[in-house]
Amino acid sequence: MDGPITAEERTAVDEALRVGTLTVVGRIVDASNVALLVDVGEGIGGLGPMRAIYKPVKGERPLWDFPEGTLAGREVASALVAEATGYAVVPPTVLRDGPLGVGSVQLWIGDPFAAEPVDGPVRVVPVGRLPDGWLGVVDGQLPDGTEVTVVHEDSADLRDAAVLDAILNNSDRKGSHLVRDSRGTLWGFDHGLTFHAEPKLRTVLWGWAGQHLRGGDVERLAALAEQLSDPQHSLTRSLAALLPPADLTALGARVQRLAVGGIHPRPGGRWPSIPWPAL
């Protein structure tokens, strides 16, 4: 599926992802954890055949800083927050049983068998050659010694993704985790390393660091903070079923700070600010 998804389409896709039969097509071999490409059963909600990425909990690699078996829940929680805020760059994602047990199932965007990768909104350019409409992030060297700069688009939807990452405390926003489909719609993937109670923002989207948030951002953050302050709100209750209590508490505090401060986060000194590899 390409292009923006309407509310009605999202409801239908969510239902299909929840109840459709999952048939394994192949494995994403370069993924850190088990990630399987699956076909989703046809004819649900009037939809045609769909593909999805299925990440079973039992295939998650243990990490020193994230509790074991929580990554799938964080993937789903990220999609819920993205939808609730209107920063809807995360494809529909659900938590369900599958061929290898419970895991996250996320709608696949585009053609998984495309011969050539599509250029994304984050790229590497020679040092000193910043394209118009792009922002520089960091200089570095390729293995052959060529000096380059990591750059990203200065676009409204990519800035949405940067605000969302600050909300999620995304610890792994690589450039390859952001793509545009054939219609130019921006999508973001791989949100398992999110929502940690400690500050762990690690991203390639630092081009707006220290700048004032847009007025609409502050309004969305304030609305989200109000929802999270109510333990009976439907979003808060859904997140409570997916995240450890300390992480949910930290989310509310983080969103409140962002809303009051009104500033894009800056890189900190206690944690690497850019993931490796950056792309």
Is residue 60 in a domain? yes
Instruction: Provide the pLDDT for residue 46.
Output: 59
Ordered per-residue pLDDT tens for the chain, 279 residues:
666 778 888 888 999 999 999 999 998 887 788 999 999 986 555 566 789 999 999 999 998 889 999 999 999 999 999 999 999 899 999 999 999 999 999 999 876 655 455 668 999 999 988 999 999 998 888 888 889 999 999 999 999 999 999 999 999 999 889 999 888 899 999 999 999 999 999 999 999 999 999 999 999 999 999 999 999 999 999 999 999 999 999 999 999 999 999 999 999 777 678 887 777
In-domain check, residue 182: no
Give the whole-angstrom CA distance, residue 94 versus residue 15.
9
The helix (run of H) or strand (run of E) holding residue 251 is helix 245-261
- Domain contains 57: yes
Closest by Cα among 100, 64, 91, 98 to 200? 64
Quick check: is 194 in a domain?
no
DSSP 22-88: EEEEEE-TT-SS--EEEEE-SSGGG---EEEEEEEGGGPPP-SSS-TT-HHHHHHHHHHHHHHHT--
pLDDT of residue 79: 97
User: Which range of residues forms the domain containing residue 35?
Assistant: 1-67+90-111
Asked whether residue 77 is assigned to any structural domain, the reply reads no
Q: Dig out the tokens for 160 from the structure.
A: 């949405």
**DSSP assignment, residue 231?**
T
Q: Which two tokens stand for residue 163?
A: 């605000």
Sign of CA dihedral 182, 192, 26, 106: negative
Task: Say if 180 falls within a structural domain.
Answer: no
| Cα dihedral: 109, 112, 118, 122 (round 10) | 60
Q: Is residue 270 part of a domain?
A: no
The pairing of beta strand 93-96 with beta strand 50-56: unpaired
Number of compact structural domains in the chain: 1
Q: How many residues does the chain have?
A: 279
Residue 243 CA to residue 240 CA, distance in Å, equals 6
Q: Is the residue at 41 inside a domain?
A: yes
